[in-house]
Amino acid sequence: MSYFKIFTVLFLTLIILSCGSSSKQKVVRLGHGLDVTHSVHQAMLKANTYLEELSEGKMKLQIYPNQQLGSERECLELLQIGSLDMTKVSSAVLENFAPNLRIFGLPFLFDDKAHLFNVLDGPIGEELLEEGTEYWLKGLGYYDSGSRSFYTRERPVSLPEDLQGLKIRVQESVSAIDMVKQLGGSPTPISWGELYTALQQGVVDGAENNPPSFYLSRHYEVCKYYIIDEHTMIPDVILVSTHFWNRLSAQEQEWLEAAVKKSVPDQRALWIASENESLNAVKEAGVEVTYPDKKPFQEATQEMYNKYSEDPAIARLINQIRNAKP
């Protein structure tokens, strides 16, 4: 275990001890890597309000934003050893622990938001929330993370060949790496917290993410070209450690899950507003925002479907998702 994790475990233990055994309120510790202005954090505050209401004050969320307790992967690992109760991660990061979540990394899988939400809110989404339980990670719900698009430092991208030779930051995700390779770029995994400096210093030539992340991270200060190709719609997943979950009573489990699910519509509404605000803000800051023809990008990544369909479980999910249009 790294020094960081040892420190985190000790820190969280002190928090528990400081609460005192006489307290009747159960505190659920939730760590994530986003800013307090982000729609995800705002929705978590809503979830806390719902949890306190549903439990009549018997439970509450203690939220640690801004990577206070580590990166997404580090928070996942803390859940696995039972040193953190809950976190939020991109399903792209979670696919390293739950392989079937690779499905969300397939480019142009969803026609639109309505198609995505129909899948997430239905039996396919519920099935995928259970994918990580073998690894002590239980999904409680999905938050909208919009669609991901490319942004670059020195030249615009309008066709897949424009990515040729460019080093593009990706998440620690096999599917993201495969996608950028298929498009001719050079995928470079870098943690989110280190990306601004990597862009500034030219370690990478660009990245890919949704508009709020592009704006709130201030990456638009370095990258002046944003191509809205919307290659993937990768949701965020709200996770609870099964070590913690199994210590809860059935009633407490019901309250916590209900609070998270009740916050989902709030987050989706907040996301839409944040997306519009972010696009307007980066345009005002001088970013060139373009909307290319998606067909060449779809054709360039078709081989991923052939490769991933060799796995019977992924092939089944692709078929189910394609047939789950509203």
Q: What is the mean pLDDT of residues 17-44?
A: 81
User: Is pLDDT above 90 for 8?
Assistant: no
* Statement to judge: residues 251 and 117 lie in one domain: yes
Place of tokens 């990670």: 137
* Statement to judge: residues 124 and 160 lie in one domain: no
* Statement to judge: residues 86 and 179 lie in one domain: no
pLDDT at 2: 53
* Statement to judge: residues 89 and 202 lie in one domain: no
Q: What is the mean pLDDT of the chain?
A: 92
* Statement to judge: residues 290 and 267 lie in one domain: no
pLDDT at 35: 87
User: Is pLDDT above 80 for 17?
Assistant: no
Range of the domain at 121: 3-144+235-276
* Statement to judge: residues 293 and 178 lie in one domain: yes
What confidence tens digit (pLDDT) does each residue in 186-227 have? 999 998 889 999 999 999 999 999 999 999 899 999 999 999
What confidence tens digit (pLDDT) does each residue in 62-104 have? 999 999 999 888 999 999 999 999 999 999 888 888 889 999 9
Q: What is the mean pLDDT of residues 301-325?
A: 95
User: Is pLDDT above 60 for 1?
Assistant: no
* Statement to judge: residues 182 and 301 lie in one domain: yes
What confidence tens digit (pLDDT) does each residue in 226-251 have? 999 999 999 999 999 999 999 999 99
H-type alpha helices, the chain: 3-19, 39-54, 72-80, 91-94, 113-120, 123-129, 174-182, 192-200, 211-216, 242-245, 250-284, 295-300, 302-308, 312-322
pLDDT at 10: 52
* Statement to judge: residues 135 and 255 lie in one domain: yes
H-type alpha helices, 201-249: 211-216, 242-245
Q: Distance (Å, rounded) from C-alpha 62 to C-alpha 26?
A: 10
pLDDT at 92: 87
* Statement to judge: residues 246 and 173 lie in one domain: no
Query: What is the number of structural domains in the chain?
Result: 2
pLDDT at 309: 95
| β 186-189/59-64 pair status | unpaired
pLDDT at 22: 41
Q: How many Å separate Cα 252 from the centre of its chain?
A: 26
Quick one: pLDDT band at residue 53, thresholds 50, 70, 90? very high
pLDDT at 7: 55
Q: Distance (Å, rounded) from C-alpha 302 to C-alpha 182?
A: 9
The CATH number linked to 92 is 3.40.190.170
Q: Which of 258, 317, 193, 315 is nearest to 48 (CA)?
A: 258
What confidence tens digit (pLDDT) does each residue in 137-171 have? 999 999 999 999 999 999 999 999 999 999 999 98
* Statement to judge: residues 128 and 71 lie in one domain: yes
What's the CA dihedral at 268, 274, 277, 281 to 10 degrees? -150
Quick one: pLDDT band at residue 295, thresholds 50, 70, 90? very high
Name the residue with higher pLDDT: 117 or 95: 117
User: Is pLDDT above 60 for 5?
Assistant: no
* Statement to judge: residues 133 and 186 lie in one domain: no
pTM (predicted TM-score):
0.86
User: Is pLDDT above 50 for 184?
Assistant: yes
**Could you tell me the two tokens for 14?**
């002190």
pLDDT at 71: 87
User: Is pLDDT above 50 for 29?
Assistant: yes
* Statement to judge: residues 47 and 8 lie in one domain: yes
Domain boundary among 245, 260, 276: 276
Phi, psi for 84 (deg, rounded to 5) = -145, 145
